[in-house]
Structure 1
Amino acid sequence: MTRRISEVKEKERRKILEEIIYCLIVQRFVDNHISMIPKISSTSDPAGRVDFWPNQEQKLESVHSPEAFEMILSHLSLVLGERVVGPLDTIIQISKIKLGKLYAASIMYGYFLRRVDERYQLERSMNTLPEGFGEDRVIYEEPKPEKQLWDPDSLIRIYPDDGDGGDMVDSSNEEKSYKLRSYVMYLDAETLQRYATIRSKEAISLIEKQTQALFGRPDITVTEDGSLGASNDEVVSLTFSGLTMLVLEAVAFGSFLWDTENFVESKYPFINS
């Protein structure tokens, strides 16, 4: 009986924490005058687009540091591929489950990016960047292989800069501004993995709930050959511009999730409890 009461109290505690964190995240969107994307519903016309939300790219850009947004653009290029140079009003059709996976993965990317950017900005302000970052010219003998933070389906990867590294440091700038991407590539695999890990069960739950709020909850099935399927998956149509807004919102949500998780933890320690 005592154990049952304890489990109920723990469940209630987690629920309250999730509600507090979510409300703080939504407040961050409100403070930045960003309208969150509503639930995506299929249309009666399979070719009918669903993305009638406004373009808020500038507002979504403003919530990140310039260095972080540079990496977000790389993430977008990876998501859109060659299509990024095409017309943004081009309509594509995509599975809602695949779109939901991309949205959730982009939230995790935003969480990671805010976390590592926070460390990068702190080390830069305190002049404690790793040895070698203070030189006038940083040269790698050969490019480092890409560091993949999650499974391939997540579409989250970090690529090294092209060239000999001369663009990593602006030697004409007295303050020597260093790219966040270069800093991330400098970190070892163990540190990267730690920064890419969601710290609390509450944060993981919020990522799932936010994704399901937009795309619904799929009914996952296992076929005879052992592959996974979804009986209620649907195909929706949207433009590349709409897809871009979805990804940018998800990255912003992940960034705000890191900020608010930290804030709540400072008032009421709950991580790893």
Structure 2
Amino acid sequence: MNELNQILRRIAEVKEKDRRNTLEEIIYCLVVWKFVENDISMIPKITETKDPIGRVDFWPNQEQKLESIHSTEAFEMIQSHLSLVLGERVVGPLETCVQISKIKLGKLYAASIMYGYFLKRVDQRFQLERTMKTLPERFGKDQDRFEEPSPANRLWDPDSLIRVPPDDDGGDSDGDGKLYRLRSYVMYLDADTLQRYATIRSKEAISLIEKQTQALFGKPDIKIADDGSIDMSNDEVISITFSGLTMLVLEAVAFGSFLWDAESYVESKYHFVKS
């Protein structure tokens, strides 16, 4: 009987793996279709070669297309994200080259996918509440400070370069004289809600983020040294312009946004997201 139970458990594990693989393929196809639908060419594998085919800098500039897929309010927050990544160069000479570790670049890309996923999720709620005219009358005004989600799954960790900067006096009017801004709305949300919105909902989506990042940057060559420290001496250094870096981040944010849409669509047809 014990042997039979082990066999049945093994069959269940195999079926679960097949199910997940199928769901991942469907979600990924939907994400890629969104890029095709918006006439956006996805960036190929990033290499350290000087061959133009392997450098994002030499690909057609698609910033306008990558910007147009977001709402005005969401793109305002994306610009803040870019400012954190590029610093003063976001308004400076974008053709200046920077040397950056491939592992660090991959981490930035993955974090930007997560940011795009979060941003699309919270922007949908914001746009719905604004359409329904149910936005709080003074959101962002009565909250003294913004508390980040817990370290276990937070989006704004120091490594990711993802923050929500304090709001200023600007904003968008709803036509009745009330100023509304997505950044203010995010600051208004309580820590538990932010934690939920910043969490990738399914294992399939997490796996796709990993696979997409590895497709561009390869698997990180990380080893543990004898003294217990992390040895990244084999890590490649990539030379990239700030213009290319901007394109890379914008694609990652778009991928995250499309990933949320694709995951939600598949979930509406076949319930696989665990609450």
> What is the TM-score of this pair, normalised by structure 1?
0.89
User: Is the 1:108–1:198 Cα contact (8 Å) retained in structure 2?
Assistant: yes
Give the equivalent residue in structure 2 for 1:38: 44
Deviates more, 1:101-110 or 1:223-232: 223-232
- Counterpart-to-counterpart distance in 2, 1:49 and 1:26: 21
Alignment partner, residue 77 of structure 1: 83
Asked if 2 retains the 8 angstrom alpha-carbon contact of 1:265 and 1:271, the reply is: yes
Residue of structure 2 equivalent to 1:130: 136
**Residues 68-95 of structure 1, C-alpha deviations (whole Å, 9 max, x = no match):** 0000000000011122222010011101
Cα gap change, 1:168/1:248 in structure 2, threshold over 3 Å: closer, same or farther?
Answer: same
Q: Which residue of 1 aligns with 2:98?
A: 92
d(CA) in 1 for partners of 2:141, 2:237: 47
Q: 2:18 aligns with which of 7, 12, 22?
A: 12
> Match of 1:18, SS?
helix
Q: How does 1:1-273 map to 2 (within 5 A)?
A: 1-43=7-49, 51-133=57-139, 139=141, 144-145=145-146, 147=148, 149-162=155-168, 165=169, 167-168=170-171, 170=173, 173-174=175-176, 176-230=178-232, 232-272=234-274
Asked whether the equivalents of residues 222 and 231 of structure 2 are also in contact (C-alpha less than 8 Å), the reply is yes
Contact 1:146 1:160 in 2 (8 A): no
Residues 40 and 50, structure 1, Cα contact 8 Å, conserved in 2: yes
Contact 2:56/2:248, CA 8 A, preserved across alignment: no
**Gap runs ≥5 in structure 1:** none
Q: What is the one-letter code of the residue matched to 1:179?
A: R
Listed one character per residue, the Cα deviations across residues 146-182 of structure 1 (whole Å, up to 9, x for unaligned) are: 74733210111101113xx4x24648x4364511001
Q: Indicate if the aligned counterparts of 2:114 and 2:256 stay in contact, CA closer than 8 A.
A: yes
Identity %: 75
- Structure 2 alignment gaps of length 5 or more: 1-6, 149-153
Conserved? CA contact 1:39–1:213, under 8 Å: yes
- Over residues 7-31 of structure 1, what are the superposed CA-to-partner deviations in whole Å (9 max), with x where a residue is unaligned? 0000000000000000000000000
Q: Secondary structure at the match of 1:51?
A: helix
How many Å apart are 1:229 and its aligned residue?
Answer: 2.6
Deviates more, 1:219-228 or 1:80-89: 219-228
TM-score, reference length from structure 2: 0.89
- 1:221 maps to amino acid: K
Give the Cα–Cα distance (whole angstroms) in 2 for the partners of residues 202 and 156 of structure 1.
23
- Residue 187 to residue 8, structure 1, CA distance change in 2 (3 Å): same
Kept in 2, the 8 Å contact 1:146–1:158? The answer is no
CA distance in 2, matches of 1:257, 1:98: 22
Alpha-carbon distance in structure 2 between the residues aligned to 1:34 and 1:49 = 17
- Aligned letter for 1:264? V
